[in-house]
Chains A and B, each alone.
Chain A
Amino acid sequence: MSQIETFYDVMRSQGITRRSFMKYCSLTASALGLGPALVPTIAHAMETKPRTPVIWLNGLECTCCSESFIRGAHPLAKDVVLSMISLDYQHVLMAAAGHAAEAALDEAMEKYKGQYILAVEGNPPLNEDGMFCISAGKPFVEKLRHVAKDAKAIISWGACASYGCVQAAKPNPTQATPVHKVITDKPIIKIPGCPPIAEVMTGVITYMLTFDRLPELDRQGRPAMFYGQRIHDKCYRRPHFDAGQFIEAWDDDNARKGYCLYKMGCKGPTTYNACSTIGWNEGTSFPIQSGHGCIGCSEDGFWDQGTFYDRVTDLTQFGVEKNADQVGLAAAGVVGAGVAVHAAVSALKQAQKKTQSTPTNTNEEV
């Protein structure tokens, strides 16, 4: 352990000033919701504890997670991020290739045995013995199991690793399977999103280094400090939602005024993520700010929730696309019509009974 340098050492060797380092610590503290009192704790941990080695595996994915990652919002974040990763092995960023790269992976696994965090981008497809995703001549699922064996914890990085994402959308021909369903004996933190926010990952790794434990997770295994609230709860267009001021059609006057995208199918009210607070691309914007509804990319099975542009979801169970209202209205219509017919027949019967029974009753009573 002692031969592993600290984060602080790595940062300083990359030319990061102490002032920038302290900025990073306070930014991370506020991102984690920890408050200024814990900034020295974070700084101390980063100065004294050996850095957390991260091995990064890429399975069935599109690399949008890596792309998001190297564009960390705070100028310093990407340097921190890169220094956190064992650059000996990261498909997108490493210099080595072929056998040399695989040898480097083995070396890193050996050196940091039981200490490293395994970040998985993408997921293993299980159909046809995993042959739909081959990495270094072997099915990815075998590699995943092999590297996960000696990992301290696993970060399921992105919607693919966390939930399966588009390749697991119905009918999921390759049987793409999220990491937690393949690796069941390690602590797994899910950081979903397509892609997820880079600051979330640096925040989580920093938290684990500082406090030597996993951050508080929500019911689905996502860090609660970033996934505890919905996009909707911190959306700057929320006042228009509460006022009942919605965009009714694309590019109408309300759209120009920046009203709420709820009617355009925005999934902000059911999506747990930090986009509306942290933002994307150095905090420049996030989907709603650019005028498009949230598509709910950090939620399980977001590809299978019907169109992105409907509020009331399509029900595709019957093979015909119908939304809940249409199904309900049709059922109510059938019942209503049935009631009407039944009422008519009842009225006839009643009338018939009266005309027939009146004389009989009279006879009985006489």
Chain B
Amino acid sequence: MTDTSQTPLAGTDADADDLEHVTRQTSVYVYEVPVRLWHWINALAIVVLCITGYFIGSPPPTMIIAEATYQFVFGYIRFAHFAAGWILAIGFLGRMYWAIFGNHHARQLFYLPLLRRDWWHEVWFEIRWYLFLEKQPKKYVGHNPLAQLAMFCFITLGVSFMIITGFALYGEGLGHGSWADNMFGWVFTLVGGNSHVVHTYHHLGMWWILIFMIIHIYVAIREDIMSRQSIVSTMISGHRTFKDDNPD
């Protein structure tokens, strides 16, 4: 996509200025198909999990449609939660696989270069940009360091926490000796034995991820407008396009 040949634009509304800009537009293929697919499936699963999860904590008003034998409202809510939880968990495993076998941008979600001074320097720079203290942001092909930090804390750690506590709670239904109990029962031991505590933590985890959603959607749209590269469309097409070709 770095072709600089003077291909005339289709349509006649482009003036000389537009044409000159177009020749300088550059884009990089950042997010491969599995990453984009995962992003949107994950987003959908999280929305379903938040809504159904909230209802599991605070059920909707009693509905008397039929005798309990023929009515399964709360059962369906819980089913949707568990099904979406499975999709989230398997999707997350797939995403980890792709972090190993995909391009290097796919790995950003799973490690933080905490020992690199210049990385911290750029985290600080990004904070200053968000505090309106910098006139112009830097260009990034992948996540900027602050975004990477947020993704890691909210998604990598947050979703891992939700998957682990989620399966521990799922094991309560499957019962003593079930695979979920064997694999994730240690979670209850960790909090002192009373599984009610895990319910509370899992519930707080929902709010943690909901807070991420608010920030994530806002910042993605804001940066799409104000930064020097595309953000929103990148997660659809996979291409990061830059608005200028200034060298810094």
Contacts and interface: CB of A to CB of B under 8 A. Distances in A.
A163 B64 contact: no
Nearest to A227: B176
Contact of B203 (A262, A324, A331, A350): A324
Contact of B77 (A244, A259, A305): A244
Contacts of A122: none
A269 B172 contact: yes
B150 to A, nearest CB: 12
Given A270-B196, A324-B204, A335 B189 contact: no
Contact of B207 (A262, A329, A350): A329
A254 B62 contact: yes
A358 to B, nearest CB: 12
Contact of B75 (A242, A254, A350): A242
Contacts of A329: 207
Contacts of A219: 185-186, 188-189
B71 interface: yes
Given A242-B75, A267-B196, A300-B194, A228 B176 contact: yes
Interface string B187-223: 0110011111101100110110011001100100010
A294 to B, nearest CB: 11
Interface in B125-178: 130, 132, 172-173, 175-177
Interface stretch (B1-9, B53-61, B89-97, B230-238): B53-61
Contacts of A328: 203-204, 206-207, 210
B193 A241 contact: no
Contact of B59 (A229, A233, A262): A262
A302 interface: yes
B203 to A, nearest CB: 4
A258 to B, nearest CB: 10
Nearest to A247: B62
B72 A242 contact: yes
Nearest to B71: A243
A263 B196 CA distance: 15
A95 interface: no
Contacts of B197: 305, 313
A332 interface: yes
B200 A163 contact: no
Contact of A228 (B75, B177, B222): B177
Nearest to B223: A346
Given A218-B176, A327-B207, A248 B61 contact: yes
Size class of the contact patch on chain B: 35 or more
A230 B62 contact: no
B62 A244 contact: yes
Interface in A267-283: 267, 269-270
B100 interface: no
B218 A313 contact: no
B128 to A, nearest CB: 13
Contact of B62 (A163, A245, A332, A343): A245
B133 to A, nearest CB: 11
B203 A239 contact: no
B63 interface: yes
Contact of B222 (A239, A325, A346): A346
Contact of B211 (A224, A227, A331, A342): A331
Contact of B63 (A245, A263, A270): A245
B124 to A, nearest CB: 18
B73 A244 contact: yes
A50 interface: no
Contact of B193 (A259, A267, A300, A315): A300
A280 B69 CA distance: 27
A216 to B, nearest CB: 9
A61 interface: no
A263 B59 contact: yes
B60 A244 contact: yes
Contacts of A343: 218, 222
Contact of A311 (B20, B58, B68, B204): B58
Contact of B192 (A300, A312, A332, A339): A300
Contacts of B74: 241-244
A300 B189 CA distance: 10
A299 B196 contact: yes
Interface in B109-131: 130
B68 A245 contact: yes
B206 A335 contact: no
Given A324-B204, A328-B210, 4 more contacts: A305-B194, A312-B58, A313-B199, A349-B132
8 shortest interchain CB distances as A-B pairs: A328-B207, A244-B73, A228-B176, A244-B74, A300-B193, A243-B71, A239-B68, A242-B75
